[in-house]
A and B are shown apart, each in its own frame.
Chain A
Amino acid sequence: MEKKSMIGAWVTRVYDPEKAAGTLKFTDDLSFGSELLYARAARSTIPCGKIVNIDYSEALKVPGVVKVIVGKNFPIHFGIYLKDRTAMAVEKVRYIGEPVALVVAESEDAAEEGALKVRVEYEEETPVFDAAEAMKENAPLVHPDLGSYEHVSFVTPVPGTNIAQHFKIRRGDIEKGFEEADQVLEESFSCPQIAHAFLEPHACICLQDPVSQEVTIWSTAQSAFTLRELVAKGLELPLHKVRVIAPPIGGGFGGKAGITVEPLCLAAALDPDIKGRPVKLFVPREEVLTTSWVRQGWNTKVKMGVKKDGTISAMKVELVFDTGTSAEYGANPVRSAGYTSMGCYYVPNIWTDSYGVYTNKPFGGAYRGFGLPELMGGLEAVVDAIAYRIGMDPIEFRLKNLLKPGLPTCTGMPMPPHALDKIIKKVAEKIDYHREEPPVRKGWKRGKGIALAIKAPAMPADASSSATVEILGDGSVKVLAATMDMGQGAYTAYAQIVSEELGVPMERVKCYYPDTAAQPYDWQTVASRSLWSMGMAIKRACEDARSQLLALYAEYWQCNPEEITIEDGIVKCPKLGKAEPIDEKTQNGFKMPDGKYKGGPIIGRGHFVPPDVVYPDLETGQSEKSVVHFTVGAVGVDIEVDPGTGEIVVNKAVAGYDAGRVISPLNVKCQIEGGTVQGLSAGMFEGIYYDKNGKLLTPDFTDYKIATTMDVPWEIESFCEETPEDPSPYGNRGVGEHSMISPAAALGNALYKAIGIRIHQYPFTRERVYMAIKAAERGEKDFWG
């Protein structure tokens, strides 16, 4: 009988039982004894200005307050791609809410009370809140020192401006392309900043040993090793003197990637008066948006030229990302959108400018989808609009212009194999796209819409992973693979891989949460890369462990390694009629026929780095291999709108992606469900708003609405195609982020069908939809309000 493969097996997820029981400890759940100190930030009350004086004498009088630290005590610049950020404001504040002082106290309450007593005197300067304004000549500069900041080679700030990043694509002859077009359409769409809204706020505990100077950080971090590296570089410590322990995190979505709140906590823990005592920084919900990052606000302008027969001849794309006061991470989604700006289409002539622009607001960074919801929110609407303009069915238009395998993307890289055509047809069929149906609710308006999704892992060319697999003395297996399982289910998939490769039952495989002191290196848990990149490392580590074990058994049993199998934890040599469970020999050594011991603990190791990515040329964006691969897909929604209130109800949502190979069906299904709802929620409710002085109006879940059980479809239909990826552990490629990319765009397209007017501003709140319906009744075709 053929052995049932674990790859693709329907299994429940590891660590879920502990999560259901509530016994799994998150960072905020750890205890550190009575030496623990608590930190709380005092925050800027103005959006832009010089700090003249910080008076914290009253804070020091609060019983329990130990110390107050200000920005100039800790002026180190941190940042992953562009070091434009300090833990606290130094000399100048750049947004309301920026930390200006850190109060450290014996209790959380005292720290909070102290923070309220810090008084700051400012010399106010003119702020700029709007990215388009900030791009204008003579706009006030958010970072006058931009030219002096350290940055990676693939990020291109424009010193003397507010442009923190400018990415370009220049391919083909754009003018000729538009001349060849019979129809040209230009539209723009925009969306405010949005929040990750993970339910676990950031928390961090830092401790520096006063003798060895070693720093230990427990943090709600997606990426223990990148955090280690950025801290070590910032503090000028060798890597081995920084240890990052990352307990389970309660949702990340990019908001806990790179380095986030840790520098603020380090400012206290490294203070000479505090050093030696652990310091905890718990970021209260209302401060999450100001201390960490948000998804950048965006404006996407697409000009598309199409020939009579429906082929796209040219496209000009301008993406403006509002990155707030820091682009340290936000510079990269700007690139990601830029080098994917053809969307899912073959565009022979394309010209793209993607900008990350500073404003005096909280800062933008990584967010599930990483530049692609921002691109697709505009592009997929334009595709529908131009199809209608030339009288072509939007599905047919998409299929006609599809970026088929082998065709060049906007960077010139040939598109790898995929089954997007099949997916589009399936999604259309499942929502019965071409059938106009009457609304289910009396008096409502119904519409159906589709949008495509595409995304490559956005990461440095040399983002590597490594893992070890240790076969323990009873045949159970310890896997050290420093991915953060933040709910995506990485450890379940890893356990499946190990079970498959080593022939041990999955229940006997254990993956551990990241600790840089214990585990081998992995770049970051981002970019939907883990099961691909770390998957490669784990598979190789298994192959290594397995061949070590088989070599030992071959000598022990006096047979060939090829004659030995491992099934269900039993080592067998059918030829010799031998079979035994893996036992302590694998740990203590095998007593060989010659009487000598051989072996010892079996540890397999594996590593992986993408072999052939070439950074796009800084002037043209061209590269023969700009990214490792692309995952593509489509989402379709069937919605209804209440013209009396503007309320949208999603009758049905269907989403399909080309996963290459599905390793964990339950994980993939749940990622698609969760991401689709996160996308719909963004499309219907979410926006971060400020008053005219830049003060945040949406710091909590009352004002910052995310979807609740009342707002979502009862079911989401998901499916996958499986066109294998190469290289890849099993042909699989990432699907974690993709489901978030296009639901909002699909919603926009459905909405247009339902109400006959195109809304150019996300989110499609009731109020906005209601007003758009009113505008439609006046005969308008576009709504900008």
Chain B
Amino acid sequence: MTKREVHFTLNGRSVTYEVEPRTTLLRALRHHGVTSVKRGCEEGECGTCTVLLDGVPVKSCTVLALEVEGRSVLTAEGLVGKDGKLHPVQQAFVEEGGIQCGFCTPGMVLTTYALLKKNPDPSEDEIRLALAGNLCRCTGYTGIFRSVKRAAELLKDQA
């Protein structure tokens, strides 16, 4: 199949990928070594492939790479500071036991980041709802709930 170019911003830097029209954003990113975006199902059901597309969490396995032309994509690596410091959201997951195997974590972190951007002080129900599309089999979510709360605190302190 003929390939086409797609230009977009990845973690703040402009990139051009050559992709087949059928290639999903998930596969394109992974093909280019952006492997924090995990393929847990490629059916839009698990959330491990979550990226922020113009700030909104989307499942990159349900987006065609060509659709992100001119848009901005953020992945978990993109949250890490230049000095190697974790973003407060990531730090909160480490501190509160929000991580076990780590396979859902990049997606969880991004969804949490997007939630707290929009809503710095989410209620229990708002947290549940925001993360409902991200499955985790290891933590039972309780550690993740604590992490979101903690992230909100850390971000508040920072502000």
Asked if B137 CB lies within 8 Å of chain A CBs, one says yes
Q: How far, in angstroms, from A250 to B135 measured CA to CA in the complex?
A: 12
Q: Measured between C-beta atoms, what is the minimum distance from B110 to chain A in Å?
A: 9
- A390 within 8 Å of B (CB atoms): no
Tally chain A residues at the interface, Cβ within 8 Å. Answer: 58
Contact B36 A21 (CB under 8 A): yes
18 inter-chain pairs at a CB distance below 8 angstroms, sorted by A residue, are: A16-B102, A22-B36, A22-B37, A199-B38, A199-B103, A200-B48, A251-B101, A285-B40, A285-B41, A487-B100, A487-B102, A669-B97, A709-B128, A709-B134, A710-B129, A710-B132, A712-B142, A716-B140
Q: CB distance A706 to B145 under 8 Å?
A: no
Cβ of A199 and Cβ of B137 under 8 Å apart? yes
B104 on interface, CB distance cutoff 8 Å = yes
Candidate in A29, A252, A713 with the most chain B CB atoms within 10 angstroms: A29
B36, B94, B134: the one within 8 Å of A16 (CB): B94
Query: Given the complex, which residues of A lie within 8 Å of B124, measured CB to CB?
Result: 714
- The answer for the CA separation of A674 and B42 in the assembled complex, in Å, is 24
Q: Which residues of B contact A21 (CB under 8 A)?
A: 36, 76-77, 79-80, 86, 90
Tell whether B25 is near chain A: CB-to-CB under 8 Å.
no
Contact with A along B128-152 (1 / 0, CB 8 A): 1101111111111111110000000
Asked if B43 is at the interface (CB within 8 A of a chain A CB), the reply is yes
B38 A26 Cβ-Cβ under 8 A:
yes
* Assembly CA distance A21 to B80 (angstroms): 7
Contact of A706 among B102, B128, B135 (CB under 8 A): B135
- A198 and B99 CA atoms in complex are apart in Å by 14
Which residues of chain B are near A598, meaning CB under 8 Å? none
Interface residues of B (CB under 8 A from A): 30, 33, 35-43, 45-46, 48, 75-77, 79-80, 86, 90-91, 93-95, 97, 99-106, 109, 124, 127-129, 131-145
A673 near B101: Cβ-Cβ < 8 Å? no
Whether B101 pairs with A487 at a CB distance below 8 angstroms is yes
Of A23, A196, A673, A710, which contacts B36 at CB under 8 A?
A23
**Minimum C-beta distance from A232 to chain B (A):** 28
Do most interface residues of chain A lie in helix, strand or loop, or is the interface mixed? loop
Partner pick for A199 among B40, B77, B86, B97, CB 8 A cutoff: B40
Judging by beta carbons under 8 Å apart, are A20 and B90 in contact? yes
Nearest to B128 among chain A residues (CB) is A709
Cβ-defined contact, B141 with A20, below 8 A:
no
> Are A199 and B48 in touch, CB under 8 angstroms?
yes
With contact pairs A20-B91, A709-B127 given, residues A285 and B140 touching in the complex (Cβ less than 8 Å): no
12 new A-B contacts, CB < 8 A, other than A20-B86, A20-B109, A675-B140, are A20-B93, A21-B80, A22-B36, A23-B80, A248-B102, A286-B43, A670-B143, A677-B142, A706-B137, A707-B141, A709-B128, A709-B129
CB pair A700 B43 closer than 8 Å? yes
CB distance from B158 to the nearest CB of A (A): 17
A666 at the interface (CB under 8 A from B): yes
Most buried by B among A29, A199, A674: A199
Q: Is the CB of A489 within 8 A of B100?
A: yes
Q: Quick check: B90 and A678 within 8 Å, CB to CB?
A: no
| Cross-interface CB contact of A713 among B40, B46, B142, cutoff 8 Å | B142
A701 touches B45 (CB 8 A): yes
Residue-wise, chain A 653-676 has the 8 Å CB interface mask toward B (1 for contact) of 000000000000010011001111
Residues of B close to A249: CB separation below 8 A:
101
| List of A residues within 8 angstroms of B135 by Cβ | 199, 701, 706, 708
- Does residue A383 face the partner (Cβ distance < 8 Å to B)? no
CB-CB under 8 A from B43, the residues of chain A are 285-286, 700-702
